[in-house]
Amino acid sequence: MSKLIRKSNKGFTLIELMIVVAIIGILAAIAIPNFLRFQLKAKSSEGKVNIAAIRTAQESYLAEFGSYITVGTENPPTANRVNAGTVKATFLSIPGVDFDVLGWAPEGGVFFSYDTAGTATGPSAFTISAVADIDGNGTDQIWGYVKEIGTTGVGMAALNGCVAAGTAGGAVPTTQTELNTVGPCVAGHGQSIF
């Protein structure tokens, strides 16, 4: 009879459960900001990858037609970039105009607005820029590429913060002196807050 009355001592105490919940909370407090930071870095890399693709398209256009092309800024327009951290915009390229003529279009939606300016009077130089506010803080992140004019050490004229001297290079960019390199158009843009 005493065997039936005996209670089981199996299970967790309230203290043990509270400790487990506290440990999970601490781990989440560490992991979530890191996850968000990595997510913003991935979004930022879209601009650099697409600039490299536009550079290839410009060189292909030069090989076929003998000059570089100037293309107007494509979507998303400036007004939509504020929400770019949460929503990708559809890349709208008009058939027979702009990036469609260049032969480049990204797959799917984009966070960045893209622009490229080239010289139409022979193979001289071109500049590409990608602009977005991917973290939604009201400050644009600007990436670019400036092709040098021959061996002069100077590139195309300014485009969205990219100057003729090139992009800001190096581990701690302070000046814009990097030509023929994808990089931040404004010194400090490569030093991301995330």
Give φ, ψ of 114 to 5 degrees: -115, 145
Fill in the amino acid letter for 167.
T
Is 4 within a domain? no
Is 28 within a domain? yes
Q: Give 5-54 pLDDT, tens digit per residue.
A: 566 667 888 999 999 999 999 999 999 888 888 888 888 888 888 988 98
Is 6 within a domain? no
Is 41 within a domain? yes
Is 3 within a domain? no
What pLDDT, on a 0 to 100 scale, did the predictor assign at position 36?
83
Is 1 within a domain? no
Kindly state the DSSP code that residue 167 receives in the 8-state scheme.
Answer: E
- pLDDT < 70 stretches in the chain: 1-9, 73-86, 119-123, 150-158, 160-161, 163-178, 186-194
Is 191 within a domain? no
The predicted model scores a pTM of 0.73
What pLDDT, on a 0 to 100 scale, did the predictor assign at position 167?
65
At 25, is the secondary structure helix, strand, or coil?
helix
| Cα→Cα distances 49→57, 114, 163, 176, Å | 13, 12, 20, 20
Is 193 within a domain? no
Expressed as residue numbers, the domain containing 51 is: 13-184
Split into its structural domains, the chain has a count of 1
Long-range CB contacts (< 8 A, 24+ apart) of 83-89?
A: 83/136, 84/43, 84/111, 84/112, 84/132, 84/133, 84/134, 84/136, 85/40, 85/43, 85/111, 85/133, 85/134, 85/135, 85/136, 86/136
